[in-house]
Structure 1
Amino acid sequence: MHSPLPRLPLAALALSITLALAACSSAPLAESAGASAAPAAAAKAPPKLVVFLVVDGLPMRQVLAYREQLQADGFKRFLDQGAWFSDARYAHGHTVTAAGHATMLTGAYPQRTGIISNEWNDAQTFAPVYNTGDTAYQYIDHKTDPLAGTSPRNLRAETVGDVLRTRQPASKVIGISGKDRGAILPAGHKGTAYMYMSEDGQFASSTYYMSSHPQWVRDFNAAKPADAFFGKAWAPLLPESAYAGSVPDGQPWQFNGGNGNRLPAVLGAKHEKPGPLYYSNILPSPYGDELTLAFARAAIEGEQLGADAQTDILSVSLSSHDYVNHAFGPESRLSHDHFLHLDRYLQGFFQYLDQRVGRANYLVLLTADHGFADSPDWAKTQGRDAELLNPSVVMTALNAGLVQKFGEGRWAVKFSAAGVLFDHQLIAARGLAPADVHEEAARLLRGMNGIVAAFTPAQLDSADTATPFLDAMRKAWHPEVSAPVQFVIKPNWLFSSRAGGSSHGTPHRYDQHVPILGWGPAWLGRGEVKTPVEVVDIAPTLAEILQVPAPAQSQGRPLPLPGASPAALAR
């Protein structure tokens, strides 16, 4: 068992769980007093608490599109009082949740972290692999499926939190999320992760971190806060005219399961009482974020985060926006309204931190794990070339072409992340060179409608940075984990057989362009930075602020903060 974080004696919680939920509700709050924006160089000591926020599936274009409708102290705290980077992006090609969460605080792309996707197949046995799966550990007091996320074993890089706790063991690093990967990967190897359990609406850790939950977790779960949303309506926050730029509810491509595809939507409307389906349906609603932030407050109080001279890190990955965008598309009114609810929750959370930790004692960084494509059905109405690329059709056509070249056989076996796995026993039995099969497969893929690029291991292992998409796919490709041939679909297309909704996972700008927003004037300064930056730059920036070395695998460099020298800005 991984040794748990050292803990101070638990103090009585300052607020009940009910009050915590109420405080992060969508009721507008008064604007906090403004803080002076001292340049980063003026900071003489690290913050007491680093709050690292991830909004799963939030493209930067949504942050700016709704700017005039934001509350005074939610996202606007970053845009009006903080440091924010308007041209921030991921540089790897397979932009999915686990790959993004592994990149953020390691400063390393999948080519180094080994977290190439949410799930993939072993390149030799073809067995399924889950990014945080580890059968050596189980969820505490909850059933554990074989591929459940229980530890960071597959993460081949250290995080900022790992470096911090190596040098300062008394520092605490906690990761919280609606998804196991959203909690485990930012928490790293030496932090502690808690994730939402859809079976009963509780938060739980795994035996990798501890044998049993601390009392504050037991108290939170015993109060059954998820049940408070049963029968509660998700209703639009603003008048109908405020959503004129978004696609109305109830479109045929918007999924109509779960809570339905129209607002207002009543949680639990199809159920007599809370149960697993109801608890699952909390996540694709604003109340998934509200519940996650309530648990974050309980963690701050139960673990006394930010209460002493040792810097603590709290990572909170808010999962609901990703579920909403998958079901309805980022162009939808449902996504628009969800973002506005989230803005109000963040305002309440920030003002809670002001009171609990003190405005001068913490900094906040917010980013996303990937962006999002518009729904193809919507994109087509706007005159764009947008379709679904059915994986089974591609696999059939690929094998037909390989049979024509090399003879009968099932040469291509499975898709894995953004690539194709091959039967190398068959290749060897026929006396063929794997490189020849890979090259022919890449050639065939390039000729298919809906695919714009395909690359062989030789290309991925080369120094070529001029070929379009090659460098992005190289950063997404780990030679010991990934499939040998990687491919890229056309812009606005989705590699899916599931009609409706939308997704992500490409090197196109709509999937790569994400927010990097910061607040903590003493360390980050204030103002918009238009210089292009990458998400890998977050880890070395935090390491510099915390006065520890950057993670060993980091590929980033410190962000050019507002007020930095011209040389730092000329990147």
Structure 2
Amino acid sequence: MKRYLFGAVALMSLYACQPLEKQDQNLKKPKLVVGIVIDQLRHDYFERYADNFGEDGFKRLISEGFYNHNTHYNYIPTFTGPGHASVYTGTTPATHGIIANNWYDKNIKTSVYCAEDTSVYTIGSTSEAGLMSPHRMLSSTITDELGLATNFKSKVVGISIKDRGSILPAGHNPTGSFWYDKSNGHFVSSSYYDHEELPSWLQDFNNRNLADEYLNQTWELSMPLEEYTQSTADEMPYEMKVRGKEKSIFPYDLKALRAENGNFGLLPNTAYGNTILADLAIATMEGEQMGQDNITDFLALSFSSTDYIGHGFGPRSVEVQDTYIKLDQEIARLFKHLDEKVGKGNYLIFVTSDHGCAEVPEYLQANKIPADHYDGKAYVKNISNALNQKFGEGDWIEDFSNEQFFLNHDLIAEKNVELDAIRRFMVNEALKLEGVAEAYSASDMQSTEFTEHKASALQMGYNFKRSGDVLLILEPGWFYQTRSATTHGTGYAYDTHVPLIWYGSGIKSGRSYKRQNIDDIAVTLAHILGTNLPNGATGEPIEEVLE
């Protein structure tokens, strides 16, 4: 008996010592992976709104799934484009190259958008909404690697209201990538994907004119106003003003408001933006017959309306709380479809966010907590004046964006000024600006390996070819002057700390408070799916998820 017991223990020990690549062979591959990114989902929302959720949506996800509570973005800046790219590439902007939503291109001396591509044309509309592709993303995604591993027999589809929320997760050669066209309320694509028309199922979906239907509704509260105890008053002075409405308070009669607020462009700014995306998710799974064979498929969906509403009203608004109450119902609807059509235990879901967001500075100030806005034009003026006094008159700064200064290298060469000297001077001057905590030069980023959190995060977001000459880190609670109530982009916890929950095939219930970085997600998925790591991956597998 002892001999058999010893043999069993030895076998278990051998398995425990196997490398993860070997253990992968014992993991059940799901028929369908559903990656859900909820744009601007702060880590505290699940806790704050828990009493308002039903049993079949977020509560099911949290109680039956594995929750990595301490997941962070490990780079600056925390924006939508870099966030989605990092989740799916398993690396940071230093490698995948999506350094912001928009950035100044030093070669062509103009600002570029992370997903724009003027060499292609729109599929499904006469508008320019489809002049997009992933060509600026420099490394592969887990969705790319799944395609490679299956000789592109896997069906991989990205969907979102935002183009970048669909394009970057879907990778470079998906089955399809579709996003919302604000000019007509339909979902469109790009000729980049080698299709001359939308798939028939999506044409049928567009012909339902759901956007028009939802825009003839009224966005009403899900419960009496006095029960929104996790929110401030329904009207706050810093909230977005809705044209055609005297006060930004419930209810919102969308039929009466749509003409003055961009018509179909209004939908993403309401909770119905999440509803139509859930509608599309179900139509996509049905139309593409996802999860119906033994080859793993992948649906990458990104809910964008949470971000639009969060920007406009702030993280403690009634509008945000109601949006998440309604989104919980959409998650429950997706669960119901997956259970019925794919089968419980046959699909894998992960839920995370592309970034968090800051508290509204005016709200913090009212509660005696330091916070403020900075004026980017004033920053440029102050630094320009200092440069003119030190190095002579000239247009030394070509651009300031994403808290980065881009210098006029032609002028520097013409005046025979040493590049590192002017960068170092600017760093010292930048530290005099109100709201700036730290400043670094491109030379610093290229020659020093930083270990201190903020500097290291800035370095992880620094791309040699695309980033600026001088980079700033703001004080906590500060961001640029904006008409929105709030925004994001820093390396502080309110922007970096996001939920990460795994649910379904092969996932045990549990939770962990160990620090995880956002680039660990794609690496973990590669082990679950048995694919190669994305080719620029820098993350580590989350062993607790794989056990």
Matching residue within 170, 191, 201 for 1:207:
191
Query: In structure 2, which of residues 332, 346, 349 is the aligned counterpart of residue 347 of structure 1?
Result: 332
- Which range moved further: 432-441 or 178-187? 432-441
One of 378, 383, 386 as aligned partner of 1:393: 378
Separation of aligned partners in 2, 1:555 and 1:109:
8
Aligned to 1:308: 293
The amino acid of 1:308's aligned partner reads D
Q: Is the 8 A contact 1:411 1:422 kept in 2?
A: yes
- Once the two structures are superposed, the pairs formed by residues 479-518 of structure 1 within 5 Å of their partners are 479-496=464-481, 498-518=482-502
Percent of aligned positions with the same letter in both sequences?
A: 31
1:156 lines up with 2:143 in the alignment: no
Worse overlay, 437-446 or 230-239? 230-239
Question: What is the CA-CA distance between 1:138 and the residue it aligns to?
Answer: 1.3
Show structure 1 runs of 5+ residues with no match.
1-39, 565-571
- Counterpart residue type for residue 53 of structure 1: I
Instruction: State the Cα RMSD in Å.
Output: 1.8
What is the CA-CA distance between 1:44 and the residue it aligns to?
4.1
Aligned to 2:250: 263
Residue 301 of structure 1 deviates from its aligned partner by 0.6
Q: SS of 2:311's equivalent?
A: helix
**Residue-by-residue CA offset, 1:295-314 (whole Å, 9 max, x unaligned):** 11111111100011110000
SS class of match (1:421) = strand
Name which of 403, 409, 425 aligns with 2:410: 425
Match of 2:503 among 519, 522, 540: 519
**CA pair 232-120 structure 1, distance change in 2 beyond 3 A:** same
Asked whether 1:79 is paired with 2:62, we answer yes
Confirm or deny: 8 A CA contact 1:234 1:267 kept in the other structure: yes
Out of 77, 86, 94, which is 1:111 matched to?
Answer: 94
Q: Which residue of 2 aligns with 1:102?
A: 85
Deviations 1:251-302 (A, max 9, x none): 1110112585211112121357xx9822111101110010011011111111
Output the CA distance in 2 between the equivalents of 1:287 and 1:563: 36
Counterparts of 1:147-546 in structure 2, within 5 Å, are 150-168=132-150, 169-191=152-174, 192-209=176-193, 210-257=195-242, 261-271=248-258, 277-496=262-481, 498-520=482-504, 522-546=505-529
3-state SS of 2:350 partner: strand
For 2:138, give the aligned amino acid.
Answer: R
Report deviation, 1:177: 0.3
Change (3 A) 1:499 1:413: same
Distance in 2 of aligned mates of 1:376 and 1:277: 28
Note the alpha carbon deviations across 1:372-417, whole angstroms, 9 max, x for none: 0011111111111111101101100110111121111121121133
Q: 1:478 to 1:563 in 2, by over 3 A?
A: closer
Q: Which moved more, 1:161-170 or 1:96-105?
A: 161-170
Cα distance in 2 for residues equivalent to 1:205 and 1:563: 35
Q: Distance in 2 between matches of 1:143 and 1:441?
A: 46
Secondary structure class of the residue paired with 2:122:
coil
Matched AA of 2:99: I
Q: Distance in 2 between matches of 1:157 and 1:313?
A: 19
| Compared CA separation, residues 348 and 87, structure 1 to 2 (3 A) | same
User: Which sections of structure 2, spanning at least 5 residues, go unmatched?
Assistant: 1-22
Alignment CA distance shift 1:354-1:283 (3 Å): same
Question: What is the match of residue 50 of structure 1?
Answer: 33
Query: How far did 1:42 drift?
Result: 10
1:560 correspondence with 2:543: yes
What's the counterpart of residue 25 of structure 1? Answer: none
SS of aligned partner of 2:179: strand
Write the distance in 2 (CA, Å) between the matches of 1:327 and 1:259.
16
Shift of 1:515: 0.9
For the residue of structure 2 that corresponds to 1:323, the secondary structure is: helix
Residue 142 of structure 1 and its aligned partner are, at CA, apart by 2.1
Instruction: Please state whether the residue corresponding to 2:506 is helix, strand or coil.
Output: helix
Alpha carbons of structure 1 residues 244 and 165: separation in structure 2 relative to 1, 3 Å: same
Q: Which SS does the other structure have where 2:123 is aligned?
A: coil
Aligned to 2:532, the other structure's residue is in SS state coil
Question: 1:529–1:562: 8 Å Cα contact kept in structure 2?
Answer: no
Amino acid at match of 1:46: K
1:127-146 alignment, distance < 5 Å: 127-145=110-128
SS at match of 1:314: strand
**Kept in 1: contact 2:28–2:506 (CA 8 A):** no
The answer to whether the Cα contact below 8 Å between 1:196 and 1:203 also exists between their aligned partners in 2 is yes
Aligned partners of 1:60, 1:560: CA distance in 2, in Å? 22
Q: Contact 2:166–2:178 (CA<8 Å) still a contact in 1? A: yes
Q: Is the 8 A contact 1:464 1:470 kept in 2?
A: no
Contact 2:74–2:460 at 8 Å: present in 1 too? Answer: yes
State the SS of the aligned residue for 1:105.
helix
Structure 1's consecutive aligned runs of 4 or more residues displaced over 6 angstroms after TM superposition are: none
Q: Distance in 2 between matches of 1:150 and 1:563?
A: 36
Number of equivalences: 520
Evaluate the alpha carbon distance shift between residue 57 and residue 167 of structure 1 in structure 2; reply closer, same or farther with a 3 A threshold: same
TM-score relative to the length of structure 2: 0.92
Deviates more, 1:226-235 or 1:500-509: 226-235
8 Å contact 1:371–1:504 — kept in the other structure? yes
The answer (yes or no) to whether the contact 1:132–1:148 under 8 Å persists in 2 is no
**Distance in 1 between the 2:334 and 2:484 partners?**
34
| In 2: Cα distance, 1:118 partner to 1:448 partner | 25
Q: Equivalent residue of 1:524, what SS?
A: coil
Alignment-mate amino acid for residue 206 of structure 1: S
Q: Is the Cα–Cα contact under 8 Å of residues 230 and 321 in structure 2 kept in the other structure? A: no
CA 1:563–1:205 in structure 2 vs 1: closer, same or farther (change >3 Å)? closer
Query: Structure 1 counterpart of 2:349, which letter?
Result: V
The one-letter code sitting in structure 2 at the alignment partner of 1:324 is I
The structure with the greater share of residues assigned to helix is 2
Question: How far has the Cα of 1:148 moved from its partner?
Answer: 6.2
